[in-house]
Structure formats: C-alpha cells, structure tokens
Copies of this chain bind each other. A is one copy, B any other.
Amino acid sequence: MFDEIHEECGVFGAYHIQNAAAITYYGLHTLQHRGQEASGIAVGEGAKIQVRKGKGLTIDVFTREKLEQMPGKVAVGHVRYSTAGGQENANIQPIVARGRVHDVAIVHNGQIVNEKELRIELEEAGCIFQGTSDSEIVLHMIQKEQGTMRERVMKTARKLVGAFSILVLCEDAIYAIRDQKGLRPLSYAKMQDGYVIGSETCAFEVLGLYTHTDVKPGELVEFKDGIVRRFDYEPAGETHLCAMEYIYFARPDSVIENLNVHRFRKETGRLLALRDDVEADIVIGVPDSSLSAAIGYAEASGIPFETGLVKNRFVGRTFIQPTQALRDRGVRMKLSAIGPIVAGKSVVMIDDSIVRGTTSRRIVRLLKDAGAREVHVRIASPVITSPCFYGVDTSTKEELIGARMDEAAICEAIEADSLRFMSIDDLKAAAGGVGLCTACFDGSYCTDLYSYGEKL
C-alpha cells in the first residue's frame, strides 16, 4: 500500500548494560521503520530518570555528545509516528513522572480502547493531563495503585483493554507488559550481563544477539536485581497478533511468534499464485514491503520475478510539491517504473494491501505509462473493510475502498486488468499456528471497543 497506513510506535529497552542509552539508540534506529516523527530515550540512575526527546529520526534527535551526557545502565526508548494529537511535544515519549521518592518513565506501543473511560475516572479523581496520549493515562494509573512497583504495574495492566506493549522504567528496573491478546509484538534477549527488550527482533540482531524470548500475551516480565522474573497478570488466552505486523509493518528480518516475517510474506505470495491462473510475462513487487510476496509468487507460478519499480531512497517528510501543475506527479517522486522491463509486458504486480485505492491506481498508471501491456494486481492480504482501533492508522471506514466496493469495482477503480485479494483463510494459513487479529478484514474485534465502537 506504499505509504498509506501507519503503525504508531516502536519501543526498546536496555537493562543492566553499560551505556544503556547508546544501546537504546541503536535499537530505536533499527526500529525506525515503525515511526519516524519523534524519538526519545529515558535513562535511569537510581531513583532519578533523565529524558531527552524530540521530533525527527533517532539519528537527528541524538548526537554523540547528548548520549554521552546520559550515563546509566537502564534505559527505555521510543519511536513514534505522529497521530492527530501529535502536534504538541507533550505527547512525545518516554513520558516521565517526577516523584519525591523516585521517577517513573513509560513507553508504549499500541492503543488502549478504554482510554476515554479511564481518563474520565482519573480526572474525576483529580488527575491532570498535559498531553493527549494514552501513555500518560497508564502512568497515572500506576501511580494511583498501591503496593510494590511490580504489583502496581500488574494491577494497571489488568484494567487496560486494547493493544499495548509497554515498558516501565523505575529505580533501575524495567517492567515489560504485553496485552492479553498479544496484538503488538514484544520480545527480549540476553545481552552481556543484562537484557534488551524491543518491539521487533531485528533490533537484537544488529547487536549480535540471535536468540530471543517473546513476552507472552497477558504476561509481565520484570527485569530487576540482575535477573528476569515472569508473571501472568492475566490467564493467557488465544493470541491475536495484528496481521498487519506480518503483512506490512515489521521488518522482513524480524521474527514474531517464531515466524520470520519475510517467510510469512513469501508464503502469502505462494498462496496467491496457487489460486491464480493469470498468464503473464513477469512478476513484480511494490517496494519495499511487497518484494517478499512477489518472490514467493514468482517461485510458485514459474513466472519470472523482475524489478519493475524503483523507489527513490532519498524521499523524506520534507519533500515538497513546488507547483500545482506538478502535484499529481507526487507518487513518481517516490516510485518509478523501469520502462525497458515492463514495456510490452503483461505484468503481475504484487502489493501488500489496498487502503484507499488512490496509490494503487497511480502505480498501475505508472506501469501503463511506462508501456506495460497488462497489469494484474494481486494483493497479499484480504480486502480491508473495517477500521483498526488497535494502533494502526487506516483512516475511517468511509475512506476504505474495500468497505464501499467489491473486488470487481475496486479493479475498475484502480484501472487494473484484473485484481485478486487473498482470502482470510489463506492469510491464516500463511501464519501457520500463530493466531491473528483480522478485525480490519472481517470486523471481528478481539476486545470490547468501548467508545471506539461508536465509530463503526
């Protein structure tokens, strides 16, 4: 879908490791694909926590000098994609509570669906909020609970409904919690005398760590006193990992629930090919996220895999459209067709998903303008028919082309010669034994939606 949907965050933590801030910097940089709008690191030394954060990529927010001013062996960090409330700096994570006895820092990936209800309850109890993020709510809740920090985090976790992978830093310890459905990924790995914790395993491999453990749905993992303790704050239910993590968000080298992302994508391509009978000359993928599926399709179909589209590596947020007349060329600034490869050819174009359909139509036109004879679009996921309330920015139901049209109508809208989506069953098959949340495809949300349900 190329730039149309966004996941909101990545989290990373380093426990009991020299230069924890620098290690976290590496981790966040590797998780940068999960969010490019803002970046922050909090580092703890005893009761005190120091935090630095700002808008932009991790490599822009932090300098070597700044990192050197952040000593400490425990740190948590965050990268985020800005959402509606994101204009103001108050929402950039980590969020830190300054306390008389100790500070607490929190980073969060996901979305709490009962946030409105929790916020009202807290406000009525006299809490004030400086930002609009649900992470601030969690911080208040932890503060209000009684007991040890572990107990307070556990009690808080039980009250949260929705998607969350949260790290809490306090007094040289880190508490990691993952929502009961396991909607967002969260894993940890041993490093030297300590541990690193992160949204995706790719962040471990850059540190030379090749084995890891997943935080289970409904689990709290405490990193404290140099050791790891695992607790079920809720009885483990069935896993409902967000399907989009496999389809689009995660880096192909990451492993989630023991399944490699690239391998999953290749399998979706293979399954698409099995159900297909199109006669074509070449198979191409929309870079970068659809290349794996295209390779799988090519292998299974016997149609040669080709590089038909090239992505401009230097596109950033700052790209401008200087003149109105040129504005419709926007997509071309990001993506170009290789004329000599596609000209005169019948092309199978694999894309990972279709959201609004406008980008798909532009890419089809791009290929046709470059001389492609036929463009057969194959989508390595089912039709998106429902909005996501678990942290994916898929826009409203009205904007989802799959909520308004059937396959044939979408095919016409995007000006393709043919179009096929993957079935939900095939998607599940590709995931093997991993339970998926497929709410955006079939509307079956795995939690109560609270006030979000009104948006349906």
A: residues with CB less than 8 A from B are: 18-19, 21-23, 25-26, 29-30, 32-33, 36, 51, 57-60, 62-64, 67-68, 88-90, 95-100, 104, 119-120, 123, 125-132, 139-140, 143-144, 202, 205-208, 210, 251-253, 255, 260, 262-263, 288, 291-292, 295, 299, 304-307, 310, 312-316, 318-323, 325-326, 329, 332-333, 336-341, 369-371
Since A126-B126, A251-B310 are in contact, a sample of 14 more A-B pairs with Cβ atoms closer than 8 Å, ordered by chain A residue number, is: A21-B322, A30-B333, A33-B313, A58-B314, A67-B320, A89-B89, A90-B98, A97-B130, A98-B129, A127-B128, A202-B310, A206-B332, A291-B307, A305-B305
Tell me the interface secondary structure of chain A in the complex: mixed
Copies, count: 4
A255–B313 Cα distance when bound, in Å, is: 19
In the bound complex, residues from chain B placing their C-beta under 8 Å from that of A144 are: 126
Give A331's nearest chain B residue, CB to CB: B206
A51–B85 Cα distance when bound, in Å, is: 13
Q: Does B99 contact A323, Cβ atoms closer than 8 Å? A: no
In the bound complex, residues from chain B placing their C-beta under 8 Å from that of A252 are: 307, 310, 338
In the bound complex, residues from chain B placing their C-beta under 8 Å from that of A119 are: 100
Q: Does A59 contact B205, Cβ atoms closer than 8 Å? A: no
A207–B19 Cα distance when bound, in Å, is: 43
- Given A64-B320, A318-B59, A340-B260, the answer on whether A207 and B329 have CB atoms closer than 8 Å is yes
Q: List 21 A-B contacts (CB under 8 A).
A: A19-B323, A22-B322, A22-B323, A30-B312, A30-B336, A33-B313, A59-B314, A90-B96, A95-B130, A98-B129, A126-B140, A126-B144, A202-B336, A205-B337, A210-B369, A252-B338, A260-B338, A263-B341, A295-B306, A299-B304, A305-B305
